[in-house]
């Protein structure tokens, strides 16, 4: 299990997504008009969500999928439409409420159970696939790898997640972000280079049975995120 830094960061993330940014996040993940900058983030996020969905089997009937840090639930709903039994967890109860309100009643043979809680809670059970879209970007790379190890232990198929790649442009944007008043800021994003992340993944003994299969960077305007697919070796 990840240590104190994980718990501490999770507390900040909960405060941010449950209160500070709940309204902004609700708008960003809807169809309402947003600023030009946020529109690029929305477009990038749509592309990332589609990338992750494309890496999952087209037919998810009978499969159990964890949407780890589901936010307002768009990916969970799409996976359920393909027949999956989705467990969608978020530490921010406000976002879970919004996700429940937005979810369509009819999901065919699929289903989504939206629950407020920690994605790492073993009570969620075992999965065929786990997807963590942009929900690990605020944790330190060492903690991210521990989280992945914990999730992988209970997963038989694939673990898909995204991280903030360390690039010069991102470093400048993050430095600029530090000029905003503390209360308005999101918890810091923890960019990591592909090499460092791969090294940490290789060194994690509980991930010995797993290997990286595919990776893709999505970069649209103010959104940059990199997806990595881990599969059983
Ligand atoms: C950037 S948002 C992305 C939400 C969603 N995956 C999406 O792409 O629309 C990150 C989400 O991860 C959630 N999160 C972060 N750490 C978590 C944890 N340990 N357990 C559950 N949810 C977590 C946050 O509350 C937030 O809603």
**Ligand 1 center from residue 115 Cα (angstroms):** 12
Binding site membership of 144 for ligand 1 (Cβ less than 6 Å): no
pLDDT given at position 187: 85
Torsions phi, psi for 80 (to 5 deg):
-65, -35
In 3D, which of 96, 86, 112, 76 has the Cα closest to residue 14? 96
From CA 95, how far away is CA 180, in angstroms rounded?
Answer: 24
pLDDT one-digit tens code per residue, 183-223: 556 788 999 999 999 999 999 999 999 999 999 999 999 99
Binding site membership of 192 for ligand 1 (Cβ less than 6 Å): no
Domain count across the chain = 1
Beta bridge partners of 155: 127
Binding site membership of 70 for ligand 1 (Cβ less than 6 Å): yes
Q: Do 162 and 227 form a contact (C-beta atoms < 8 A)?
A: yes
Spell out the per-residue pLDDT of the chain, length 233, in tens.
677 799 999 999 999 999 999 999 999 999 999 999 999 999 999 999 999 999 999 999 999 999 999 999 999 999 999 999 999 999 999 999 999 999 999 999 999 999 999 999 999 999 999 999 999 999 999 999 999 999 999 999 999 999 999 977 666 766 666 554 455 567 889 999 999 999 999 999 999 999 999 999 999 999 999 999 999 98
Range of the domain at 62: 4-232
Residue 17 Cα: closest atom of ligand 1:
25
Q: What is the pTM of this model?
A: 0.95
Average model confidence (pLDDT) across the chain: 94
Binding site membership of 66 for ligand 1 (Cβ less than 6 Å): no
CATH number at residue 217: 3.40.50.150
Binding site membership of 134 for ligand 1 (Cβ less than 6 Å): yes
Q: Do 160 and 129 form a contact (C-beta atoms < 8 A)?
A: yes
**Ligand 1 center from residue 14 Cα (angstroms):** 9
Structure tokens at 159: 């673990």
């Amino acid at each position: 299990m990840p240590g104190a830094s994980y718990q501490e960061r999770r507390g900040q993330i909960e405060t941010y997504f449950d209160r500070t940014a709940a309204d902004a996040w609700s708008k960003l993940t809807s169809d309402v008009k947003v600023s030009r900058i946020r529109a690029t983030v929305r477009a990038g996020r749509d592309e990332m969500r589609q990338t992750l969905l494309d890496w999952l089997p087209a037919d998810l009937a009978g499969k159990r999928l964890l949407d780890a840090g589901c936010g307002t639930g768009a990916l969970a709903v799409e996976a359920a439409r393909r027949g999956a039994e989705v467990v969608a967890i978020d530490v921010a109860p406000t976002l879970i409420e919004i996700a429940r309100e937005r979810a369509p009643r009819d999901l065919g043979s699929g289903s989504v159970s939206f629950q407020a809680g920690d994605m790492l809670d073993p009570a969620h059970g075992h999965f065929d696939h786990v997807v963590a879209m942009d929900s690990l970007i605020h944790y330190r790379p060492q903690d991210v790898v521990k989280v992945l190890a914990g999730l992988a232990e209970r997963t038989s198929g694939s673990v898909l997640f995204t991280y903030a790649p360390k690039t010069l442009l991102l470093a400048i944007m993050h430095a600029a972000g530090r000029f905003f008043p503390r209360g308005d800021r999101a918890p810091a994003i923890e960019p990591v280079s592909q090499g460092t992340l791969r090294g940490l993944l290789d060194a994690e003994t509980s991930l010995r049975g797993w290997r990286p299969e595919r990776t893709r960077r999505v970069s649209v305007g103010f959104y940059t995120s990199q997806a990595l697919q881990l599969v059983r070796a």
